Structure 1
Amino acid sequence: MTELLGIPVQALFGQLLLGLINGSFYALLSLGLAIIFGLLNIINFTHGAQYMLGAFVAWFALQWLGLNYWVALVIAPLVVGLVGILLEYTMLRRLYKEDHLYGLLLTFGLAMMFEGSFVHWFGVSGQPYATPELLQGGLNLGFMYLPIYRAWIIIASLALCFGTWYLIERTKLGSYLRAGTENPQLMQAFGINVPVLVTLTYGYGVALAAFAGVLAAPIYQVSPVMGSNLLIIVFAIVVIGGMGSIMGAILTSLAMGLIEGLTKVFYPEASSTVIFLIMIIVLLARPAGLFGKET
């Protein structure tokens, strides 16, 4: 078997693939967090629970309604996004002018309520969700075996992430969103309904988490604690990239996923902490993050 730096090539590329898959999930989740914080000024600790809700909506749709994976990819983000819109309309919008701590505490409490309720109903053991038939199997690339579903996760995640970046940074709608959060009075004077834009923005950020949950369901079992296991890592990635930086969230997520995968090859003991070590180094050198703007 061919080796590279003393490591079998298949093992090395297998871990890089795993890192890229994890990075794809990190990118979708950190992107939603970056949008919500950058445009709404809310630190959304409910994000992990909303990721979990997306996976459970897909599972409910299959078990109770017989709706397949492809339908769930559309339904779950819509359902969870509507739940997010309801939360924003009834609770979060009252906190936009307050200190970040109030929003953090509220969303943290909501996350505990969601997770606790699902643990009570389903326990902590996961529920299986089958890989769609169209995406089963894999491709032999010679140097490694590439499962088709893993490739689909990477393609779908990157397409959605960079599409979202283009929407916010390069379109008129995105300019309305940014202007509406920076100077809402001026935008309202031009006839733009800023509260509706803000509500829809939060709903979209939540829908990204739900979409990631559906993608994760066939790989990781659908579990009430699946979101809390990822949330702290995702927050660390958002801090490294720069709070509120959309491109920073995407690029940092992919980079951290690959670094995590390489660490599992060369020094497995540090794989669970390497992202936090990088966060400490970045904060000491550049407190605003790699792509963040100094205040």
Structure 2
Amino acid sequence: MINWANFVSQVFNGLALGALLALISSGLTIIYGTLGVLNLAHGAMFMLGGYAGYVAYSYTGSFLVAVLAGSLFVGLVGILMERVIIRHFYSRPHEDQLLVTFGLGIVFVELVRLAFGSQSQLVPAPAIFSGITSLGFMFYPTYRLAVVGIIAVALTALFLVLYRTRIGMIVRAGIEDSMMVDALGINVYRVFMIVFGIGAMAAGFAGIVNAPVVSLTPGIGDDILVQTFVVVVIGGVGSFPGAILGGLIAGEIISITSMINPGYAYVMLFAAMTLVLVLRPYGLLGTRGRE
């Protein structure tokens, strides 16, 4: 039965999901905008962040340590991926990039399945955010509210890195014209490595932050990858603000549609993407990018 309380609850759910998608999509859109690489292993990196955080939590009992460990581990994995494999595919066709990142994603998933099995794992929410909170007109899980705040802080930090630092200026210049950045004497390959690491770290951070909400399984990154690509298309490829806007829109579409008929949640999401592609082929906040 649909009532006001259910609707408001789903709006909050959509906000939490949208913030999560915005963070993951921001990493993906930065990588593609700067490097021109469609990283199909991004969902697996989200999963790796959750499992790395789970291992850290198992040994320390500290959620903060788990968040730091999950983020840094996936950031390191991203840097190693870029230096060892991805770097050799910049000049290759996009089909090759898709295949190699898709293959890497499968490798990560199967390695985790080998190490932890297929059973789900749970990272409990920190004690300070446990229980429920009264909003006056409804009760809502405290940690889901905290997730919105945590991700908002992470997105703000990422925004400051991109728009208030020298490396951010170089990254944004690389999105517009990487050849010109190279011509100015800047080591673009070092920038590419950092960008890939930052994008991967964003996915890993999201993975461990989301772990107390949805239990961990090796395939948890598959669905989130599909949603993330839709978010990037809706917001605009290469646009950081577009990733945030697209994430919030996608989160609300999935959540509110699920309240009415869960079977049509993805239908409505892809319908929204199709509508955006028809009306604005480069996304809501996107511009004509690399050819």
TM range, normalised to the smaller chain?
over 0.9
> TM-score when scaled to structure 2?
0.92
Cα distance in 1 for residues equivalent to 2:2 and 2:177:
55
Shift of 1:184: 5.2
Which of 87, 96, 104 is the equivalent residue of 2:81? Answer: 87
Secondary structure of the residue that 2:266 maps to in structure 1? coil
Is the Cα–Cα contact under 8 Å of residues 35 and 205 in structure 1 kept in the other structure?
yes
Provide closer, same or farther for how the CA distance between residues 182 and 95 of structure 1 changes in structure 2, counting only shifts above 3 A. farther
Query: What fraction of aligned residue pairs are identical, expressed as a percent?
Result: 36
Q: Which amino acid aligns with 1:89?
A: R
Cα distance in 2 for residues equivalent to 1:121 and 1:74:
21
User: Does 2:155 correspond to 1:164?
Assistant: no
- Name the residue aligned to 1:216: 210
Count of residues in correspondence between the two structures: 289
Is the Cα–Cα contact under 8 Å of residues 236 and 279 in structure 1 kept in the other structure?
yes
Is the Cα–Cα contact under 8 Å of residues 57 and 65 in structure 2 kept in the other structure?
no
Cα distance in 2 for residues equivalent to 1:181 and 1:292:
12
Query: Cα deviations across residues 209-263 of structure 1 (Å, max 9, x unaligned)?
Result: 0000111111111110111121111111111111111111111101221122222
For 1:14-93, what aligned pairs fall within 5 Å after superposition? 14-63=9-58, 65-93=59-87
Shift of 1:47: 0.5
Shift of 1:169: 3.3
Shift of 1:120: 3.2
User: Does 2:144 correspond to 1:150?
Assistant: yes
Shift of 1:170: 4.4
Provide closer, same or farther for how the CA distance between residues 13 and 116 of structure 1 changes in structure 2, counting only shifts above 3 A. same
Is the Cα–Cα contact under 8 Å of residues 243 and 288 in structure 1 kept in the other structure?
yes
For the aligned residue pairs, the C-alpha RMSD in angstroms reads 1.9
> TM-score when scaled to structure 1?
0.91
Query: Cα deviations across residues 64-117 of structure 1 (Å, max 9, x unaligned)?
Result: x22511011112111111111011001111111222222111100000111122
Cα distance in 2 for residues equivalent to 1:278 and 1:190:
41
Shift of 1:140: 0.8
Secondary structure of the residue that 1:146 maps to in structure 2? strand
Q: Which amino acid aligns with 2:40?
A: F
Shift of 1:161: 1.6
For 1:94-113, what aligned pairs fall within 5 Å after superposition? 94-113=88-107
Query: Cα deviations across residues 111-137 of structure 1 (Å, max 9, x unaligned)?
Result: 011112222333332112111111112
Which of 184, 199, 208 is the equivalent residue of 2:193? Answer: 199
Unaligned runs of 5+ in 1: 1-5
Query: Cα deviations across residues 34-54 of structure 1 (Å, max 9, x unaligned)?
Result: 010011111011111111100
Is the Cα–Cα contact under 8 Å of residues 9 and 143 in structure 1 kept in the other structure?
no
